Amino acid sequence: MRCPNCNSLDTQVKDSRPTEDSSVIRRRRVCVACNFRFTTFERVQLRELTVIKRNGRRVPFDRDKLVRSLSISLRKRPVDTERMETLVSTIVRELESGGEAEISSEAIGEIVMEHLRTLDDVAYVRFASVYRDFREAKDFEALLGELHTDEDGRPTPIRK
């Protein structure tokens, strides 16, 4: 870990402890070269994931990209940052524990939509409109019809 003050690689960990949800480890560090103290937050990664894009290209999974897309979907919605961070951690854990090192972008999108559907209807529709590349109003109508049906396919009342 590089020191943010002098860019030295020679640092020591002085304290290490998990955060409340245990998905991140907080480490207090000190630089041996300049004695600068700083904190790092490190995530436990179960496995390296590779995303297979629709065009067949393979790219490393980027947690920050998932955070950005969820932030856009959840913008101005009554979902606090902590719940969003928990959602991201849940999705990443689900992907990592899925048993496959390579996962399609479509599969990731479906998992995200599944979790958003239970969290916030508006965020779900926003994400789906981009993920499924909606072109016309009827695309939204079809999704809203899907959104407001129960497990048996019966319509449920729209919440206001």
State residue 25 phi and psi, 5-degree precision: -110, 130
Contacts of 147 (CB under 8 A, 6+ apart): 117, 121, 124, 125
- What pLDDT does 28 receive? 94
Model confidence band, residue 78 (pLDDT cutoffs 50, 70, 90): confident
Contacts of 63 (CB under 8 A, 6+ apart): 43, 88, 92
Please say whether the dihedral angle defined by the alpha carbons of residues 135, 140, 141 and 146, taken in this order, is positive or negative. positive
CB 38 within 8 A of CB 3: yes
pLDDT tens track for 20-57: 766 678 899 999 999 999 998 887 665 688 899 989 99
CB 111 within 8 A of CB 94: yes
- What pLDDT does 153 receive? 52
Beta-carbon-side half-sphere exposure of residue 11 (alpha carbons within 13 Å): 22
Do the strands 11-18 and 24-31 form a parallel or antiparallel pair, or are they unpaired?
antiparallel
pLDDT over 80 at 72, yes or no: yes
CB 146 within 8 A of CB 156: no
pLDDT tens track for 113-151: 888 888 888 888 888 877 766 677 776 667 676 766 555
153 versus 69: the higher-pLDDT residue is 69
Model confidence band, residue 4 (pLDDT cutoffs 50, 70, 90): very high
